[in-house]
Amino acid sequence: MKSVTAAAQPAAEAKGEPPLRLMIVDDSSVARAVLSRMVGSNSDFELVAVVGSAVEALDALRSVPVDIVLLDVEMPGGSGLDALPDIIRAGGGARVLIVSSMAEKGAETTVRALSLGAADALPKPGAGIFGGRFSDVLAERLRRIGRAARLPESGPPAALGDSIRLRPMGDSPLRCVALGSSTGGFHALTGFLRVLPVEIGAPILVTQHLPPVFMASFARQLEAASGRLARVAEEGQALRSDVIHVAPGDAHLCLHRHGAEVTVRLDRKAAPSGCLPSVDPMLASVADAYGDGAVGVILSGMGRDGLLGGRRLIDKGGAILAQDRATSAVWGMPRAVAEAGLASAVLPPPDLARRVALRAGFQSWK
């Protein structure tokens, strides 16, 4: 078993800020040595741990504060992707940069990593990849990712029955389901969609915080995981029941109702959350289009995106469900709506899907 090693580097001189604290997780001794040498020569970074497996990383994160984890994907004894949600949780706000030969731009592995909560992904140096500039590219990515976010969602959860009050869900016919997610969203979304009946008689909208280049691949992965047709939403597209409509990475997924027909309206105005796409405009638009027939589901993610739109949905008679802290990679977005008293349930994604199934008329659904 490879041991955790620590190395203190000079503090960054710029702005008098301390260096970013880094952990390298890679089963290859050569990769560990090369990456260590690259970051160790830069005073902007402090290498605090070097480990050879995801298990060792989780052990180290219990005692070593880290800003960024450089994580390989393919490692014996446990995939880096499989361990990613646990690493994010254990890191208490630490960011994850995937550094892997499988991390090509737009690749399925990259999309899954970003959907699970990685901050960015970078291919390992090789023939034709960044040439001799890899060290500079790596340093630029690390600076851009920045410090760990020690946010309230890393703290202890509020107890149900204490600061959280659950609302009645209502019993109007289900007409639309809108899901919002960010960090750790792919795992949560697939956990929800795999349990949801394939035919609920209502369109499904998804807003996931991802850049535009990854959305087509993300939609394909949702389709494969859920057994439903999934498509990236386009302007003027008519909503179809039991089809997943995914927000493109450069616009909010909003709706326009004209009589009985509801179509997609893409909106690129700045959202209060600062996210593009943002969950808030989607939920607000769903509220206006479907009223008490709409159910919003807020899944794992950092921040409070979905809170403002969730209020609008509640005001229009709709319902909000939230993922619980125990199953969330980051309990930020779900926590915000739960502690605001908007949620009718705070549960793991499969149990949230069962609540939606009951609302859709399935009397018993496992």
Would you please indicate which residues are annotated as catalytic (active-site) residues? 182, 209, 305
Name the token pair of 22. 């880094």
Give the separation between CA 245 and CA 317, rounded to whole angstroms.
23
Name the token pair of 137. 């590219």
Whole-number Cα distances in Å, 286 to 6, 88, 242, 256, 314: 51, 31, 16, 9, 11
Give the separation between CA 262 and CA 260, rounded to whole angstroms.
7
Region of 319 (left: φ > 0; alpha: ψ -120 to 50; beta: rest) is: beta
* Residue 263: φ, ψ to 5°: -125, 165
Judge whether 230 and 214 are in contact, CB under 8 Å. Answer: no
Buried b / exposed e along 321-354 (16+ C-beta atoms within 10 A): bbbbbebbbbbbbbbbbbbbebbbbbbbbbbbbb
Judge whether 45 and 22 are in contact, CB under 8 Å. Answer: yes
Give the separation between CA 32 and CA 90, rounded to whole angstroms.
21
